[in-house]
Structure 1
Amino acid sequence: MSARHSIRTKLVAAVMTTTLAALLVSIAIIIGYDLRSYHRTLTNDLATQAELVGHMTSAALTFDDPRLANENLALLSTRPQVRAAAIYDAKGELFASYQAAGETRAMPGVLSGAPGTDGDDLVIHQSIVENGDTLGTVYLRAENQLMERTLNYLSIAAGVTLLAMGVAYLLVRRMGRVVTEPIVAITEIARDVVATRDYSRRAPRISDDEAGELVDSFNAMLTEIEGRTRELETSSAEIAHEVQERSRAQQEVMRLNEQLEHRVDERTLQLALANAELANAIEEARSANQAKSAFLSSMSHELRTPLNAILGFAQILTSDTLPSTLEQKKEFANHILKSGRHLLTLINEILDLAKVESGTVTLSMEPVALSDTLLECRAMVAPIAAARGVRVLFPEAPGAVVLADRTRLKQVLLNLLSNAVKYNREDGAVVLTCEQVAPSRLRMAVQDTGIGLDAGQVASLFQPFNRLGQEGGNQEGTGIGLVVTKRLVELMGGEIGVTSSPGVGSVFWIELATTAPLAAPVHEGSAQELPQVDTLPREGASQLEPHVILYVEDNPANLRLIEEIVRFRSDLRLLSAPDGHVGLSLARAHRPEIILMDLNLPGLSGIEVLRQLRSDPITAAIPVIALTANAMPRDIARGQAAGFNRYLTKPIDIDKFTEAINSTLAVLHPMGAPPAGRKAE
């Protein structure tokens, strides 16, 4: 009786435990799923609300309008679960805020912490991004009812569990006897067989269900036990061998697991490195975007400044309501010319920086006599310094020879000297010194008497768009001259540095490698006089038919400029064509002595026109001079390779233009004779 009671108790315990486990798992899954859905829905709702507020407030941040931002935040009063909200600007400072009724916690003045939970509240941060720029951050704090919902669910789950367990207990107690009686009978027979070793005993079949089948199986088992015993002895050796095989297989599995763990560690490390590189790339892209914004802002100001003078004085000159005297017109024209040259200088600085940064700049390293370069620099800097009353002191002509690119070396020295004059005080001084600091190194230093720079300004000196620390000053320039100077010096194998004392002045120095002195040139025989090319019409030129020049140009303003220049030359006659097709027709009909060619022409490019001119025997020998705004080195090289006799770039330098015309005519008529078919009037 006690045995029957024992198995029944176990059956009840097993069923009750299983039922309880199933109930707990089911309830936990349901509660967890609901709470997770609630939290996700609340988070998504707040994120959507924050994004909407961000879009509505972007204009307020752009135009610095806290009132509009506060009005937008006040709309959250319709969302009672939102307890507080705020808008922070790009610096993380509080811009606008909102608090629900009854909310006592103050908003922080500076955005801190991370989104998540704040006590019983849920906190959301949403960045405000407009056109790729981060304008600020939306802060939302909402009431999180997760704990309250959890307690309600637990109360319901406890009631359901108690009710289900009670019903299950009653059912198991009533049905347990039907299941346990056949099992108890088999247990008693099995105990006797074990005690007496009498395998002839058989258990009685009480029922025809699974318990009856169990009795039949038990009896059959008794029949086979003896045979199985003998078979077990035989298979013991096989089992031992199998155990050994399994042991070896287990060791192999362990070895493979170790290799797998090692590979996982390697892949994890590689992934970490890749993530770090990705983070660096993202940071570099962000920095590049900020640099681009700074570049556009600086260029907009620097380019508009000279354009303002050019357009302003040009409007005065062309206005009928603003009459001006001849002297005023000359003064206005000088202002336009000065601003135009300054604008060209800015563009050249930008192009130099672009070439240096892209690695396309090419240097011609050769021995350069320092004395000649210093004389050229002195001649160019002296007028600028005299205009400001600054004394410029150069060393006695040194005999040193440095290994450098002649043109770039002069550019570096001129930039340092012009900066020393520009940022100097009135009636100050600039001193250039040369010192041999090593057997094969020469240092050239430019010292000024300006206001000097502090340590922070010196640290950021060679960064683009930094005007020698003169923030808020009235000096012109892009602030990229020193960047180009530093890169050029480094490309020439040199070094550049600066020392400065506030209130005393600054010293900029460069070091270059020296080389053996240049050998004196050897002149054989008497020097031959080179043919002189006049820049003015030759005497008696009016007695000859004028030289015909064809200008192919689609821009009316550029065409008018050349017409005005040629108008002062009685020995020249200008024909014009608005596109390449008309230019080809005029060239074949009039056979001009020189053709001026723009490259960017409608329909037919200047290079294609040149190709057709060269392929036609009638026009093949006519010199063609390119006159274009394509001033990049690759454009010039492409034009020269195409076969242009000369390559002039816009804006036009009238002296260079005149020299190109005169030198080309001198080649065509070396003895000053009139062209074939011409006669004196």
Structure 2
Amino acid sequence: MIRLRSLRNKLLAVIALVMLPTVLVSIGTIVVYDLHIYEQTITDDMTTQAELIGHMSAPALTFDDDRLAHENLALLRLRPKVDAGAIYNAQGRLVAQYSAAGEQGGAPAAPGPEGFRIEDGKLYLFKRILDNGEVLGTVYLRADYEVLARFLDYILIGFVAGLLALACAWLVSRKLNDVITRPILSIAHVAREVVATGDVSRRAERLGEDEVAELAGSFNKMLADIEGRKRELETSNREIARESERRREAQQEVMRLNQELEQRVHERTLQLEMVNRDLGMAMEEAKSANQAKSAFLSSMSHELRTPLNAILGFAQILTSDKLPSTLAQKKEFAQHILKSGRHLLTLINEILDLAKIESGAVALSMEPVALPEMLQECEAMMVPLATGRGIRLLFPERCTMNVTADRTRLKQVLLNLLSNAIKYNREGGAVVIDCAPSGPGLLRVSVQDTGVGLRPEQVRMLFQPFNRLGQEAGVEEGSGIGLVVTKRLVELMGGTIGVTSSPGVGSMFWVELKTTEPVPVPPVHVTTPLVPGVPAPARDSVTLLYVEDNPANLKLVQEIIRFRPELRLLSAPDGQLGLELARAHLPDVILLDINLPGMTGFDVLRQLRTDPRTAAIPAIALTANAMPRDVERGIAAGFFRYLIKPINIDEFTEAINSALRNLGNTGDAGKTGNIGAIGNNDERPAPLLAEKKEES
């Protein structure tokens, strides 16, 4: 180990490390320069050869002389490094090719991009043949690229040169050994003995008068100084040790006190964090509960007032002496009232069901229920509804298993899922019902439709109150809480409910319940007649614009306006179309529903006010959002009036008259000239409805 670390070996290593990199850098520089010159030479040579062949072959390509092109390529046999060549015409057709003896692989079928490329030790060149700026064809050459062989030769030369450099370094180090290393090694020997024994009284031998001899003298003087200071340090160290012991004891006491203080602070901090966390959670729960309560009340108010609007509105028409109507019209109005009343009854029943479920007042009678009979009853009740929509119902042929459930509530769950599958299906679609085991002691009943499907964000919000599946379509009525009731009933029966949906394909709702032993139950056949709805005719208007997505509400306003021949109504089912009609026709007054598909009534009002053409048109909110904060928000947003459904015809009349008088006061005579009967000279608003003229 000492010999490996000797100064002699280090001197040899220094000499070798100086000579060897010098030799390698010199050889490397020569190699790089030579390879660069070689590459430049071969590329220039190949380019010159390609230009020469191209120039010689230009007449052959011009006159389609393939023989002359072959003769020109045959001259490549005088270039031993070129082992293949070809000539292509301007259309890329191979005219002539050449291959050296013993070479495999001819020319490519079509010319490549102009330029060089190197692959597998070969240099490939494509050169365009030009004549007066016109491309006549392409010359292709392939030659040996001997850069790798030349590089390997240089590596061998560098290896031999390195060995010679190491041999020279070894010879030089032997000559310098006695002159440089022996005096230094003598000093090193004394130093090792001092380190090993601790005897600083030893001295190194002084050889000569050079720098190494001065080093030996300095080393001896250093040993003498160390010997004196060692005695002083031994005395001082004893004093320092005693002082250090006292400080160590004091530091340990301080550390103990700090640890106790940190522990107390940590405990108090944890207690404070727990209190703050509990307080924050309580505040968040209270805030969430308050928001949920407000949202539920607002949604419930809107959903209840929507059908009430049609009921009370058409009822006012039927009971008003100022609005005579024919027998057919009375029947149509009554059908609207009946339809809205049934919808309101369903909504109230579902709200009551949800309230009873949430309060724990629902009593279930759990018993074995035979699925075949249950599905047969549901099929009999749903067939008329599906037939009216042209939808096929496909029930399972074999489903013999029984489940543990409340018979009435299970039937309610299945009918709700089937009703939704039919309601939100496409015309001529299908509903597939299936049942199959989903695990030990579990049975899954699935209802799959071919409707528009649901997006992932819709699926996440699906089982929340007043979240209607067909809300965006604006054509399907529903309370939006049926699925909430369904989910709670399934969970009360010890089951689970889920949904998978693909937009544009359809949705599948499934219910999992516990199975039980078969119990014979007599089948019950129920039929429910389907009552088709009465379509509401659409009317146009050039004076009033009503943006409303509910057909019954639109029909009500149409009937109110119809009895005044000088008033005409323009309607739009969504906000975007309403904006387009407002900008195109510039109506006198705009009636806006708030809950519109796509954009809300507030969004429509905001865009109307930013457009100079429609900024001055008074907009009246006609909505079922009746909460006080909704009214305040509507007035603050800039609505001229905020009317709450169900419509009060007198308030409706007064609001329109006030809006038209306001237009007249601002000097918009052109707007109000066609509606002179609306604005009277006295302070009382003129009745909006006049006696209907007899038809000729």
TM-score, normalised to structure 2's length? Answer: 0.36
Q: Which structure's relative contact order is higher, taking Cα pairs within 8 Å and 6+ residues apart?
A: 2
